[in-house]
Amino acid sequence: METVIDTSNQRIDGREADELRPIKVTRHFIKNAQGSVLIEVGDTKVICTAMVEEKVPPFLKGQKKGWVTAEYEMIPGSTNTRKSRDRNRGKIDGRTMEIQRLIGRSLRSVIDQTMLGERTIWIDCDVIQADGGTRTAAITGSFLALHDALSALIEAGKIKAMPITNFVAATSVGIYQGEAIVDLCYEEDSNAEVDMNMVMTESGEIIEIQGTGEERPFKKEELQKMLELGEASIKKIIAFQKDTLQD
């Protein structure tokens, strides 16, 4: 008797609905930065660096606390068609601004800024290859780069203890072909009925949820399923971060 396998709900790359793409991190990727990683999530690749500047923005001067801020950009060859650099357009586009603010907020939420002293940690995220989930990969990788930069400050005697109060990571979830799935690749993301990004701490606290009904409204039951998928996946990613830092 011939065996027939039902592939109607199979994902593009053969993953299960709750299965993350393979994650790979190369630490100390850029020698000049106090912290740097190359993070690869499937075919998405992002270089994340963390560099220390011994001053704070004017609005923080004299307050005896530091600042963490981020910049994000996709290089021209990161997508199928060349992406023009922001500087050639004379301004940062709305998507870029939204993402870099998200990265900065996500990292500041797990830092005790009073322990930094009056210095700024600059996080730079450069997408060198995009296949969906660039902002979530940038957050996950930036946390590792930030951790390494702060460790360097401790070793140099510039701060007394680690200012990180919690681990943080991010992933995407969505509804694709009627099914809730996690960590969408570009083809899934561009055809998803519902698209959502989640940023959470190790203790399960939500930093940000960005969810949109791209093709249709979505039900509360679908939202709950996506939240459950996202939380379980972020726990796996944070476990990976911890293993990476131990190595």
* pLDDT tens-digit map of 131-166: 999 999 999 999 999 999 999 999 999 999 999 999
| Gap between the Cα atoms of 189 and 228, Å rounded | 19
Instruction: For residue range 42-62, list pLDDT tens digits in order.
Output: 999 999 999 999 999 999 999
Residue 6 has pLDDT above 70, yes or no: no
| Gap between the Cα atoms of 142 and 107, Å rounded | 8
Query: Model's pTM, two decimal places?
Result: 0.93
- The verdict on whether residue 134 carries a ligand-binding annotation is yes
- 3-state SS class at 104: helix
Cα Rg of the chain (Å, integer): 19
205 alpha carbon, distance to own chain's centre: 16
- The verdict on whether residue 15 carries a ligand-binding annotation is no
Q: Is-contact 20 236, C-beta < 8 A? A: yes
Answer whether CATH 2.60.40.420 is correct for domain 23-246: no
Give the pair of three-digit tokens for residue 124: 């730079």
Per-residue buried b or exposed e for 222-238, using 16+ beta carbons within 10 Å of the residue's own CB = bbebbbebbeebbebbb
Q: What is the pLDDT of residue 160?
A: 94
- The verdict on whether residue 135 carries a ligand-binding annotation is yes
